[in-house]
Structure 1
Amino acid sequence: MNQNLDDQTLALAGLFQAVSLVHQTATRGQCLQDPLETTIKSLFETNPERTLDVYGDLYGLREGLKVLSRCFGNQAGQAEAQMLRYALNLVQLETRLHKQPEMLDTIGERIEQARRSVDHFGYTHPNVIRNLAGIYQDTISTFRIKINVNGHRQFLEIEDNAARIRACLLAGIRSAMLWRQVGGRRWQLIFRRGKVVDNANAMLRSLE
């Protein structure tokens, strides 16, 4: 197995897991809790020895691998098109962020501050989610490029849901950054889709 492709597939699965949680929250008012914990936890894994360490283990990325496979596959529907748009927007935002070292430092410092709340409450506690949402709002949200999240108003207007969406978008940026660091490039999302899907499906089969 191509290690470079493996690392890129894992990082993309992290990205697509984050946007899947955004989509679930916006359209259903809730999301899967195990993938949420893996996604939020990835923000605090700042010195991994290998790509998978960011997410803990392959099982924690199962939702992201499934969504990645669907979004890049031939049977993608409206929901998949929506999630793909979120993912591409996050890749674009991460490119902007990469050119803003001061903002990167600010995000890193504030995530370290949020770590104290994690130690006390756990990764998915509302206090932690709101803290991470505030980081996204004060930094990434100031870019001219905006991510318009589509869903049902009754869900989007709930403060905890809005906070969860922003926290997951921040985690999506983290995975987009990781993807770039392991050699991911935007053109590959067009020309290497088939290889990525095959690799994601092979990873899923290994979990059966």
Structure 2
Amino acid sequence: MADLSERVLALAGLAQALGQVRRIADTGQANASVLDTALDSVFRIDASTPAAVYGGLANLRPGLVLLQDYFVNRANDEHLPRLALAVLQLERRFVRDAAMTEKVLRGIHGQATAAGRLGSSHPDVIAALGSLYAETLSHLRPRVLVQGNPHYLGQPGVVAEVRAALLAAVRSAVLWRQLGGSYWDFLLRRRAMVDAIEARLG
């Protein structure tokens, strides 16, 4: 089992992806580099370390800051923790569904060449990842309900981007569980989590 300093990286990846979900839903625009980190992580299934999943520790700084704000009660987005809880619950159901897990992995592998050639944030890749989420994870309960500006959430391109970012969030949730993460981290290890986050932030 990995220690907390590794697990907080997966949680930072989760928070970071969901931060982009919230931003896209509200404004129709992602932070391009932060979204790149999230979507790249979807394709790094066999990365050697948690940090490598995200292309290095520096790429996780926005997510680590979001986590720090949450644990010290400084968060300014009340929807983000609820969204994170919904994704963590969704991950539990996802990993128990072998057929769906296999379908998602096949879909990711099927897009890996295009992502490598065009970039994981290319509209074609985002559209494919969004469709993959819609065909698989969106059918599980509880559904992850994303609130935002109806003007943007009515646009197919924005919806695809939101779904692709949700897929990235689930990828981080899976990694967190693989590293030994559980709800006890939130209930019993808050101080240790804050220490681990602050150490990573330097």
Measured against the shorter chain, the TM-score band is: over 0.9
CA shift, 1:121, in A, is: 1.4
CA shift, 1:202, in A, is: 2.2
Q: Does residue 159 of the first structure (1) align with residue 152 of the second (2)?
A: no
Q: Does residue 22 of the first structure (1) align with residue 21 of the second (2)?
A: yes
Q: Does residue 149 of the first structure (1) align with residue 146 of the second (2)?
A: yes
Does structure 1 retain, via aligned residues, the 8 Å contact 2:66–2:75? no
**Which ranges in structure 1 are unaligned for 5 or more consecutive residues?**
none
CA shift, 1:106, in A, is: 0.7
CA shift, 1:193, in A, is: 2.2
Output the amino acid matched with 1:71.
Answer: Y
Q: What TM-score, normalized to structure 1?
A: 0.93
Write out the 4+ residue segments of structure 1 that deviate beyond 3 Å after TM superposition.
none
Corresponding residue for residue 53 of structure 1: 52
User: How far, CA to CA, are the matches of 1:177 and 1:30 in structure 2?
Assistant: 26
Identity of aligned residues (%): 36
User: How far, CA to CA, are the matches of 2:118 and 2:130 in structure 1?
Assistant: 16
Corresponding residue for residue 10 of structure 1: 9
Q: How many residues align?
A: 202
- Give secondary structure in 2 for the equivalent of 1:150: coil
User: How far, CA to CA, are the matches of 1:109 and 1:21 in structure 2?
Assistant: 25
Match of 1:87 among 68, 81, 84: 84
Does structure 2 retain, via aligned residues, the 8 Å contact 1:71–1:83? no
Q: Over the residues paired in the alignment, what is the CA RMSD in angstroms? A: 1.4
1:21-170 to 2 correspondence within 5 Å?
21-77=20-76, 79=77, 81-170=78-167
CA shift, 1:192, in A, is: 1.6
Does structure 1 retain, via aligned residues, the 8 Å contact 2:5–2:200? no
Does structure 2 retain, via aligned residues, the 8 Å contact 1:14–1:61? yes
Q: What TM-score, normalized to structure 2?
A: 0.95
- Give secondary structure in 1 for the equivalent of 2:5: helix
Greater CA drift, 165-174 or 154-163 = 154-163
- Give secondary structure in 2 for the equivalent of 1:74: coil
Output the amino acid matched with 1:28.
Answer: T
CA shift, 1:103, in A, is: 0.8
**Which ranges in structure 2 are unaligned for 5 or more consecutive residues?**
none
